[in-house]
Amino acid sequence: MENGIPPSLLQLLKKHRYHLVGKHSAVKRCKWLYESLIHDRTCYKQKFYGIKSHQCIQMTPSLFYCTQQCLFCWRAQSGDLQIKWDEMELPNWDSAEEIAQESLKAQAKILSGYKGNPKTNWKKFTEALTPRHVAISLAGEPTLYGSLEELIRVFHYKGFTTFLVSNGTAPSKLSALSEEPTQLYISVCAPNEELFRRVCRPQVPYAWEKLKETLSFLPSFRCPTVIRMTMVKGHNMKNADGYAKLVEKANPTYIEAKAYMHVGFSGLRLDYESMPSHREVYDFAARFAERTGYMIIDESVESRVVLLSKRKKTISFETP
Ligand code: SF4
Ligand code: SF4
């Protein structure tokens, strides 16, 4: 066992095509990297924000560690498949430079698989060899990683844009970030504490209060901010008023209402029917919009996501 992580878990993750990086990080090929290179279809974040799917690295510095065990999460959680470890027993962290370097190598390895594929778009493949964007979002809670701001800084120094996704339960870490990501996501997946406990299953005390504290200083970020609401049918798609009240104070640049997808290890915890249709997500987003100053400004039917903002147009990070 390395760092208290059961070898059976490492094997399972490798089988699920996680490229383990150092002791606690990982890179995984996003389905949209494949879709972009092979079928010229791109992810909704390219559509909304201009970041290119074929030049994106999907990674995490905190693969095994999280302050929550959300029902809808696609990561392997302690207890899934009878494999157990302490998700809050943090390791000796690898350095940010090491993680960045090794993540780039892992991405290069992933891309090498496309060389022999006759369907690969060669222009895009050549561009993909120089990735430009990092989604720090794959699995786990990234604010647990001890050198997160350094990791963001290293990627920025290398010319990358970064999207950071956090569950907001570490307000002190987020408020102290001296290097902001290019865009910051905070997940808000319940309209009140009772549902938060049932759906997000916090593993640390006062998680709900901590999330609310994070929301209270979200307006202080200079970068665009996003509240991500993952909608799980029959679980948290109710009480649009509750969501509206929470989000009002945070005043994010955007809100993404997105359907839960029945993928990864979430299938062990939720039924296929928990996945709402795009229409259901859209209707919920419309109810939410009626209660706030936010407007629906874009959507992606295939990813079942609706984008809301007070802006008419998004801020684009498209690179030449
Ligand atoms: S931004 Fe997200 S969805 Fe788009 S390619 Fe990167 S990891 Fe995939
Ligand atoms: S906060 Fe994120 S990584 Fe942690 S359990 Fe929830 S969805 Fe998964």
Q: What is the pLDDT of residues 242-270, one digit of tens each?
A: 999 999 889 999 999 999 999 999 999 99
Ligand 1 center from residue 206 Cα (angstroms): 31
With the most atoms of ligand 2 within 8 angstroms of its CB, the residue from 70, 214, 227, 229 to mutate is 70
Q: 210 alpha carbon to ligand 2 midpoint, in Å?
A: 15
User: How high is the pLDDT of residue 320?
Assistant: 77
Distances in Å between the alpha carbon of 159 and those of 152, 223, 304, 319? 11, 17, 31, 11
Percent of the chain with pLDDT over 70: 99
Measured CA to CA in angstroms, residue 13 lies from 25, 96, 105, 136, 142 at distances of 12, 22, 18, 18, 18
pTM tops 0.75, yes or no: yes
Using only C-alpha atoms, what is the Rg of the chain? 19
pLDDT at residue 194, as a whole number: 97
Enumerate residues lining ligand 1, CB below 6 A.
30, 32-33, 43, 45, 51, 53, 56, 58, 135
Query: In the chain, what percentage of residues exceed pLDDT 90?
Result: 96
Residue 161 scores a pLDDT above 90: yes
Q: Which residues line ligand 2 (CB under 6 A)?
A: 66, 68-70, 73, 75, 139-141, 167
Q: β-pairing, 254-259 with 18-21? A: unpaired
61-72 CB burial, b ≥16 within 10 A, e <16: bbbbbbbbbbbb
Which residue of 65, 66, 210 sits with most ligand 2 atoms within 8 Å of its CB, as the best mutation to test the pocket?
Answer: 66
How many other C-beta atoms are found inside a 10 Å radius of the C-beta of residue 81? 12
3-state secondary structure 120-158: CCHHHHHHHCCCCEEEECCCCCHHHCCCHHHHHHHHHHC
Give the pairing of strands 305-309 and 254-259: antiparallel
Note the pLDDT tens digit of each residue in 285-306.
Answer: 999 999 999 999 999 999 999 9
Query: What ligand has the least distance to the C-alpha of 183?
Result: 1
pLDDT tens digits, 63-119: 999 999 999 999 999 999 889 999 999 999 999 999 999 999 999 999 999 998 999
Predicted confidence at residue 248, as pLDDT, reads 87
In this predicted structure, what is the pLDDT of residue 2?
57
For atom 2 of ligand 2, which residue has the closest CA? 140
Q: Look over the chain and give the mean of its residue pLDDT values, rounded to a whole number.
A: 96
Residue type, 27: V
Could you say which ligand is closest to the alpha carbon of residue 46? 1
Ligand 1 centroid distance, CA of 56 (Å): 6
- Cα of 103 vs centre of ligand 1, distance in Å, is 15
Which residue lies with its CA nearest to atom 2 of ligand 1? 135
**33 CA distance to ligand 2 centroid (A)?**
22
Q: Is the pLDDT of residue 1 over 60?
A: no
Max Cα separation, the chain?
53
Ligand 1 center to 284 CA (angstroms): 24
Ligand 2: centre distance to CA 68 (Å):
6
